[in-house]
Structure 1
Amino acid sequence: MTAFNLPALTLATSCPRDVDVVIFGVAESAGAPVLVGVPDEIEQRAAKLYGRGLATVARDLGADAAPGSATTLAGADGVRLIAVGLGETDVTPEQVRRAAGNGVRTAAGLAGDRALRVAICLDAVEPEVVKGAAEGALLGAYRFVKVSGQQPKEAVASITVVSSSAKPEARRAVEAAKTVAAAVCLARDWVNTPANVLYPETFADAAKTAVKGTKIDVEILDDKALERGGYGGITAVGGGSSRGPRLVRFSYAPRGGKSHLALVGKGITFDTGGLNLKTSDGMYTMKCDMAGAAAVLAATRAIAQLGLKVRVTAYAAMAENMPSGTAYRPSDVLTMYGGTTVENVNSDAEGRLVMADALARAGEDSPDLILDVATLTGACMVALGERVAGLMASDDQAADHVLDAAESAGEAFWQLPIPDGTRKKLDSKVADLRSGGNRYGGALTAAAFLHHFVPDGTPWAHLDIAGPAFNDEGPYDYVPSGGTGMAVRTLVALAQSLQN
């Protein structure tokens, strides 16, 4: 599998003279559009070219402050200008992140035979805003490298974030943005890779390779080790495929790290639905059903590269859910890791089974917080749409902690309840519990099932990213078509908040 290489990114206090594209902002102030971040020399050169001010030219060509808008203008000496909407003048890091991503994505579409040098001029000063501009620019430059014998052409060679701040905090923000953006793009690459290339064995190998040179210890359990260890959920789900399942464990234990965060990710490398076969249309994008595992593994790498002082143990439960003579059946009773028996209700509800094994194992590490990430239910997409992920938790304190991290990272989550009585829907006549309830509140029932495998008293949160993990439509802002890398930034921000 071929990885996307990030463009070179630098921070400068003035706009380089040799750039091909300059991206500046348009914000709304007192109901009127105003230009943001335009370098003086660009303003002067544009005035000579057009014979009038750049603000007038931009307005006449349709540039406005609406977030998501991008207008391309010709500039003097071959420099092209892109005006991007920022919304109101009092911008947040996420507004800048989106505008920068939108601008770079637009610039990439202008590339010909030569990769472009791009400058981001959005008047970013505060470290978090600088970081937002840098992250958005790098994420907007992302392109999935096709499975092809042809060498892909670079669209963006370099990006310069222009900021009047020369403080060390600004430079550290840019370096952190590089690390986080690289992790998001790694998760995107894994999600976008076809399932005949990325399956449990190769995914586990890729994860191990990705953390070489870091302070992360790696343990990989293959199908035989999983069977010996009593991982009944993972072995059942993976039993229908000729490609055996895997459980990958990352352990990062820095000196001085006292808080302990456990991350668990769903890694179904392809989901046919098993014997409860999906429709052909519903199956087509199911290479993305390992996005939760991609997120926790990529985020753990970033946490280690940033040197955050927090212990992290990550589990990625990997399996391919296929129909065959060895596939598990509806009504089968499975013995999970730790001894709980589960009556399987639907073989297309496989994610919660592999996650249950991993959650039970993660609980043995005695973490301070367990967080799981999964493309778990279509019900969550029905409730929240395709751009907002669901959050369910053991208590409001755990939920608030994750929501605060998501807000600082610029990712959209919405808390859903696990009402009293939800667990009752999982009662079984033949086992300790059923894997599902009735047709109502499917996301909540799935969360209640997962919570059963978390040790009593351990704070826990569940992120259902089924909607925003994969964008099946056109790109927007810094979000590409295909894998999005959803939750990586939130996990890194959460780890930062847990540092001692």
Structure 2
Amino acid sequence: MPPAPTRGRTLPAPTLPSIGLAKTLPRSCDVLIIGLSTQGVVAVPEAIEKAQTKRFGVSVTDLARSLGAKPDEGKTVILPAAGDGPRLLVAGLGADEPTPEGLRRVAGAAVRQAGGLAEEASLSIALALPAEDPETLQAVLEGALLGSYRYQPISAKTQHPQIDQLTVINDAKAGTDLVDRARIIAGAVAQARDWVNLPPNLLFPDSLAEDARALVRDARINVEVLDEKALQKGGYGGILGVGGGSSRPPRLVRFGYTPRGAKAHLALVGKGITFDSGGLNLKPGDSMYTMKSDMAGAAAVLSAISAIARLGLRVTVTGYAALAENLPSDTSYRPSDVLTMYGGKTVENGNTDAEGRLVMADAIVRAGEDKPDLIVDVATLTGACVVALGNRTSGLMAADDETADRVLDAAEAAGEAAWQLPIPTETRAKLDSKVADLRSTGTDRAGGALIAAAFLREFVPDNVGWAHLDIAGSAFNGGEPYGYTPAGGTGVAVRTLIALAESMQD
């Protein structure tokens, strides 16, 4: 059998449309998005209102309602164009005074719907939504870009973008800075989505490590990649054990961002299992199909740090992406194996499908050596978290409530759903082992997400804040698109990590 390739496809930067602000409707606009509240349409340009009334004899509000438009969020209706003017897409706002996250979802869903009207040529889309302050304008800009995301299929056919220009109609004076910020944040989310969506024969530890290096080539980020020889020399028993069954060896990627004037230090750790078969504890076939997404934590960490550097945030950030492919072979690690982790602790392996916590433990210990103020790890870690919180809410567990509140506040500011779960005192006893310092899994299935967090906590240095985000459900959307979230990789946690870094600047 020939050896597996050591390189996959180098991932191009995700393509998002251009976006800008304008005080009036652009002449080249193909589709205009307007909002509908219980009071009627909102922020319709005066020229459009006059043209529509002249053409159809009724106001835009009455025409929209006659065609079934409703103010409910997610409800959209497309109106005919008045002469040579743009087609109108009326989107329900969900509330008369929508929140920033509500506007983000409305803008994203409306842009996605409008993009579906593209045929032979790409569209120019404008949005006239009620964004009256920097926070709501930022939300509309982000939502429009996030909703425009489209994963480019691997195909012999040439794909043209659905949308080539987005314009938000607004006269905000601080608009340029907000546009640049939205581009950076949405670009980081799109990068994470692209990585998650790429099939595992094209994305594996070495190729993801090289993609990460290429991503920050023009940013003020130091990059270090440990290959299998360096990992062996350093004693990274968790990463080596998990990756030992694959012909494509593991990697540990370190990003370092150290701006002048930074007083706080944030460490981020991401799980990067580029494909998870379950190892010798093989998953059922149907459960394996989406396991290309098991590296979503690493994708979020790498993409977020790239954005943090491009935004010029005044906080030191170090990031670790623990990359491995978990496959069964005659070199796979086994249940009951004892692994010596980075730093010296020994772990009795309970189940080869509980691999994420092993690679994360190595990386958390290494992150602690950088002496950060806070360590946050992000991982598609447990099915138990999906059972508890569903597919759209990430689970948060932390060393203390103050740290949990800090991360929850960042998630709320970013518009990402997260919910705190406990790490009960009694969970530690379930990790006791007779042959090693601790087991990797509990003695029963109860509280699986909590047990996994309790295991990770064992590797966090004393006196360092720590939080764990379990994104097993929220990292991949196996259903239909909603809001600004596409089918496939969601890019979850990228915006939360950026917001967290922002909160640590002062």
Same-fold status (TM-score > 0.5): yes
User: Structure 2 matches for 1:453-468, cutoff 5 A?
Assistant: 453-468=459-474
Query: Contact 1:123 / 1:164 at 8 angstroms: preserved in 2?
Result: no
Structure 2 counterpart of 1:173: 178
Deviation at 1:105, TM superposition (A): 0.2
Deviation at 1:154, TM superposition (A): 1.0
Query: Contact 2:315 / 2:504 at 8 angstroms: preserved in 1?
Result: yes
Would you say 1:67 and 2:73 are equivalent positions? Answer: yes
Deviation at 1:175, TM superposition (A): 1.2
Deviation at 1:295, TM superposition (A): 0.1
Would you say 1:53 and 2:59 are equivalent positions? Answer: yes
Separation in 1, partners of 2:266, 2:391:
28
Structure 2 counterpart of 1:472: 478
Separation in 1, partners of 2:130, 2:447:
45
Task: Count residues in correspondence.
Answer: 494
Per-residue CA shift, 1:152-206, capped at 9, x if unaligned? 11100100011132x12x3212211110000000000000000000000000000
Structure 2 counterpart of 1:260: 265
Deviation at 1:17, TM superposition (A): 2.5
Aligned pair partner of 1:415 in 393, 402, 420: 420
Structure 1 counterpart of 2:103: 96
Structure 2 counterpart of 1:4: 14
Would you say 1:483 and 2:493 are equivalent positions? Answer: no
Would you say 1:440 and 2:446 are equivalent positions? Answer: yes
Separation in 2, partners of 1:187, 1:44:
43
Would you say 1:329 and 2:334 are equivalent positions? Answer: yes
Would you say 1:195 and 2:197 are equivalent positions? Answer: no
Aligned pair partner of 2:401 in 396, 401, 415: 396
TM-score (norm 2): 0.97
Per-residue CA shift, 1:113-148, capped at 9, x if unaligned? 110000011021211111110111011110111111
Structure 1 counterpart of 2:7: none
Amino acid at match of 2:434: K
Would you say 1:272 and 2:282 are equivalent positions? Answer: no
User: Structure 2 matches for 1:101-250, cutoff 5 A?
Assistant: 101-165=108-172, 167-168=173-174, 170-250=175-255
Q: CA RMSD in A?
A: 0.9
Separation in 1, partners of 2:407, 2:338:
34
Q: Which runs of 5 or more structure 1 residues have no equivalent in the other structure?
A: none
Would you say 1:497 and 2:497 are equivalent positions? Answer: no
Q: Which runs of at least 4 in structure 1 moved beyond 4 Å after TM superposition?
A: none
Query: Contact 1:124 / 1:162 at 8 angstroms: preserved in 2?
Result: no
SS in 2 for 1:140: helix
Query: Contact 2:14 / 2:187 at 8 angstroms: preserved in 1?
Result: no
Q: Which runs of 5 or more structure 2 residues have no equivalent in the other structure?
A: 1-10
Deviation at 1:3, TM superposition (A): 4.0
Query: Contact 1:66 / 1:87 at 8 angstroms: preserved in 2?
Result: yes
Separation in 2, partners of 1:327, 1:78:
63
Separation in 2, partners of 1:469, 1:78:
40
TM-score (norm 1): 0.98
Query: Contact 1:124 / 1:164 at 8 angstroms: preserved in 2?
Result: no
Per-residue CA shift, 1:310-364, capped at 9, x if unaligned? 0000000000000000000000000000000000000000000000000000001
Deviation at 1:78, TM superposition (A): 4.8
SS in 2 for 1:56: helix
Per-residue CA shift, 1:288-320, capped at 9, x if unaligned? 000000000000000000000000000000000
Separation in 2, partners of 1:164, 1:362:
45
Separation in 2, partners of 1:69, 1:228:
57
Separation in 2, partners of 1:448, 1:24:
48
Deviates more, 1:149-158 or 1:201-210: 149-158
Separation in 1, partners of 2:457, 2:413:
26
Aligned residues with identical type, % of pairs: 60
Deviation at 1:2, TM superposition (A): 4.1
Per-residue CA shift, 1:201-225, capped at 9, x if unaligned? 0000000000011000000000111
